[in-house]
Amino acid sequence: MPAPSKPDAGGLSIVVPIYNEASNLPDLHQRLTALAQRLNKKRPIAVEVVYVDDGSRDNTVEVARKLPAENFDLQLISFSRNFGKEAALLAGLDHARHGAVLFMDGDGQHPPELADKLVALWRDDGYDVAYTAKATRAGESASHRLAVRLFYRLLNWGVKYPIPEDAGDFRLLSPRAAAALKQLPERNRFFKGLSSWIGFRQVRVPYEPARRTHGRSRWNLRALIGLSIEGITAFSTAPLRLASLFGVLLSLTALFFGGWIIFETLFYGKSVAGYPSIIVGIMVIGGMQLLMIGIMGEYIAKILSELKGRPAYFVAEHEIRERQSAGKRGPREAAE
């Protein structure tokens, strides 16, 4: 992979991971074109859009190739296969040619119109990280709201720098914040946590996600659970502490139960129930042991992944197009 060029500290790179978004992409591109036009009128700022295709199975790449580069430079990065959203965000960060970076989803639920406010918080108010968070979860089920609350309670339990609740990937990083994020060496990334961990001046911007106009979200229960496990194992030792706490409680319970059996036998002459109590005890202890082994296994698997040092992604195709108003059109690059 070629070394990235020195970024333009005064410009803005908009990184958009896309996966099976062929139907949503043209409308989103028009809104980004309007955003770049507004930014150019309000303040002199160079803008580029970096689409990162995460191994789409539909014709997303073909649609992206036909999008015009109006009011901004355009990059199209296509992976060799599906590596996941976090890898797509990393690829966009690696290939961004401007200092500031704006991350947003490709499904249209992150309104590009809100980017004007994020840019103003960076350029006018001096914030390094302007992150968005859902203003309300009133439209979600009670079980989903409870699961989200428990996730953040577990994620932030005992940590020194908590991750803001309900924060999303839709956020803007100043040049020095983006540079700091690039310095982090881990390959298994959780960008919500890393963007908070780097520090600097940060501000929360409430917003309401828009409805998808085309297609269905790929974030099902299984994907959300996987992302939750990734975030917790990357930023929290709470599961390991809970495992130790359960072990202590189970040991104290067994000690108390054993003492009570001895007391009843010596003073009341009661016989100890054999088979049922033994089976229940074995099942409880065995289940707890398997649970603790599974928790430790998640952390060990993450350590193993980091030790292997495999690249987080492979680029199959990388195309750069200069803005059409400049009268230039960059050559298409072959696989890197």
User: Does position 314 have pLDDT exceeding 60, yes or no?
Assistant: yes
Reported as a single tens digit per residue, the pLDDT across 178-208 is 888 888 887 777 777 788 888 888 888 887 7
Q: What is the pLDDT of residues 208-267, one digit of tens each?
A: 776 665 556 555 556 566 666 666 666 666 677 777 777 777 777 777 777 777 777 777
**CATH number of the domain where residue 179 is located:** 3.90.550.10
Residues 178 and 247 in one domain: no
Same domain for 326 and 290: no
Task: Work out how many domains the chain is built from and give that number.
Answer: 2
Checking if the pLDDT of 333 tops 50, the result is: no
Q: What percent of the chain has pLDDT over 70?
A: 75
Shortest CA distance to 70 belongs to which of 325, 332, 327, 254? 325
Q: 264 lies in which domain range?
A: 238-308
End-to-end CA distance of the chain: 5
Of the candidates 297, 279, 196, which has an alpha carbon nearest to the alpha carbon of residue 243? Answer: 297
Q: What is the pLDDT of residue 155?
A: 66
Q: Which two tokens stand for residue 119?
A: 């840019």
Judge if 20 and 156 occupy the same domain.
yes
Q: What does the pLDDT average to over 15-19? A: 89
Contact 21, 46 (CB under 8 A): no
DSSP state of 270: P
pLDDT at residue 91 tops 70: yes
Q: Does residue 1 lie in a domain region?
A: no
Give the span between the Cα atoms of 232 and 86, in whole angstroms: 15
User: Helical H runs in 49-113?
Assistant: 60-65, 85-95
Same domain, 200 and 298: no
Please give the share of the chain, as a percent, with pLDDT higher than 90: 4
d(CA 292, CA 80): 36
Q: Determine the length of the chain.
A: 336
Does one domain contain both 54 and 131?
Answer: yes
* 109 & 37 share domain: yes
Residue 2: pLDDT over 50: no
Mention every residue, 6+ apart, whose C-beta is less than 8 A from residue 63. 22, 25, 26
Contact 72, 106 (CB under 8 A): no
pLDDT at 334 over 50: no
Residue 9 pLDDT class (50, 70, 90 cuts) = low
Pair (132, 275) in one structural domain: no
In-domain check, residue 230: no
- CA gap 265, 225 in Å, rounded: 48
pLDDT of residue 325: 52
Question: Whole-prediction pTM value?
Answer: 0.70
Residues 161 and 304 in one domain: no
Retrieve residue 37's tokens: 């036009």
What is the reported pLDDT for 15? 92
Question: 311: which residues sit within 8 A by CB, 6+ positions away?
Answer: 187
CA distance 177 to 200: 7
Mean pLDDT of 311-321: 86
Domain membership flag for residue 114: yes
| DSSP E strand boundaries for the chain | 8-18, 47-53, 73-79, 98-103, 129-134, 167-173, 202-207, 315-321, 332-333
- Do residues 27 and 136 both lie within one domain? yes
Tens-place pLDDT, residues 275-305: 566 766 777 777 777 777 877 777 787 777 7
